[in-house]
Amino acid sequence: MAEKVVVRNLYKVFGPQPAQAMDLLHQGQSKEQIFEKTGMVVGVKDANFTVDEGEIFVLMGLSGSGKSTLIRLLNRLVEPTHGQVLVGGHDVAAMGRKALVALRRKDMAMVFQSFALLPHRTVLDNTAFGLEVAGVGRAQRERRALAVLDQVGLKAFAGKKPAELSGGMQQRVGLARALAVDPSLMLMDEAFSALDPLKRTEMQALLLQLQKDHRRTIVFVSHDLDEAFRIGNRIAIMEGGRIVQIGTPDEILRNPSDAYVRAFFKGVDVRKYLVARDLASADALSVVQPTLDGRSDLVRTSAQLQHGEALQAVVVEAGGRLLGTVTQDSLHRAMASGATSLLGALLTDGAVAAGDLGLHALVAHVVKTPLAVPVVDAAGNYLGVVTQAQLLQRLAANQADDV
């Protein structure tokens, strides 16, 4: 998968002589020692990470950990002291002002905790504001604004003023304004934290639905575990300006990197956040691709199953999209009926689980069949399988951790 954002050796020092603080950092002195000696604050210290295209990457940490500073370094609302920020291969940290403004207008958008709407303008005009700044004509920008307002469920409110809307609706306008420029990268800093729990959950669901439809790259700052685990493909945990661990929610919960991360997630019920992709094993079954010699495919796959321990094999296209699974019985039936490819042996009643399927729904899938259940991503690409044995082992392990 292509990398949308690459951050290398990124630092931010707040103070009049950042070079002095950088020297002290390189000497091994801590953030606290530098502040005590110089009065300067190390906001971000040697951040290194990548964000893949189409990924929701969540920055988490306690207050003062540096997460809001870090997200602002990505679009240079905060100027970096040292390091690189590559967006689509272009170094934002080294860009001239003109190129940076063009990037912000056309390919990058930010949604803040405060709605920051223009009170004297209508919902439609607020939504179209970024396009107006970019010089898009009125008719074109209003068409685009109405389209995104429709996406967020506010088309009927286009003529209203912000003060006439609820907080949740105002935040939808803020999201629509960001979407209107059709950015490939969205930066969202505590975007839903000012909302009540019900509205917050609604906005998370809306974001996930929009993500299914458009697959933008999103960097999202949050301090809320439920939110991060619900929307994040991967999470970066920050402490004292440093990134201390990056991983999927499941990876971090299972293998916290240090005492800080363990304390951060202490008491969290892992089962609440597990989804199918967290449990999927990519190497549990043989994966085969149909060739032009379909009859040989049938014979060869049958022989693999006969001499192996697995009951199934997974059939995928060359690009990785799942076609289905086959068993020894389905292969024999296909060959007996004169089938000429693996497609004729695919199980017609085999269950398939979406990667974001929750644990309870996944259990319902798995217990209905003795066979492994394939797991796919939103594009139908094969991620792995979940078996009854895997599921029981994992649930047993989680229960043991709770004791």
Contact 220, 57 (CB under 8 A): yes
The encoded tokens of residue 153 equal 């469920």
Domain spanning 3-107+183-268, CATH class: alpha beta
Query: pLDDT digits over 164-207, tens only?
Result: 998 888 888 988 888 888 888 999 998 888 778 888 888 888 88
State the pLDDT at residue 403.
46
Q: What is the pLDDT of residue 106?
A: 81
pLDDT for 266: 76
Predicted structure pTM score: 0.76
Residues lower than pLDDT 50 in the chain:
403
Distance, in Å, from the CA atom of 225 to the CA atom of 244, rounded to the nearest integer, reads: 16
Q: Please report, in angstroms and rounded to a whole number, the separation of the first and last CA atoms in the chain.
A: 39
Taking the C-alpha atoms of residue 300 and residue 227, their distance in angstroms, rounded to an integer, is 47
Q: For residue 135, what pLDDT is reported?
A: 85
Place of tokens 């047993």: 396
Helix axis angle for 197-214 and 167-180, nearest 10°, is: 20
Render 294-362 in DSSP notation, one character per residue: HHHHHHHHHHHHHHSS-SEEEEE-TTSBEEEEEEHHHHHHHHHTT--SGGGG--SS---EETT-BHHHH
Secondary structure in 3-state letters for 365-396: HHCCCCCCEEEECCCCEEEEEECHHHHHHHHH
Q: Which fold has domain 279-399?
A: CBS-domain (3.10.580)
Cβ neighbours of residue 23 closer than 8 Å, sequence gap 6 or more: none
Which residue in this structure is represented by tokens 């029981």? 392
The secondary structure element, H or E, covering residue 400 is helix 388-402
Q: Break the chain into its structural domains and give their ranges.
A: 3-107+183-268, 279-399
CA neighbor of 269 nearest in space, from 253, 293, 287: 253
Predicted pLDDT at 398 = 60
- So what's the pLDDT on residue 70? 96
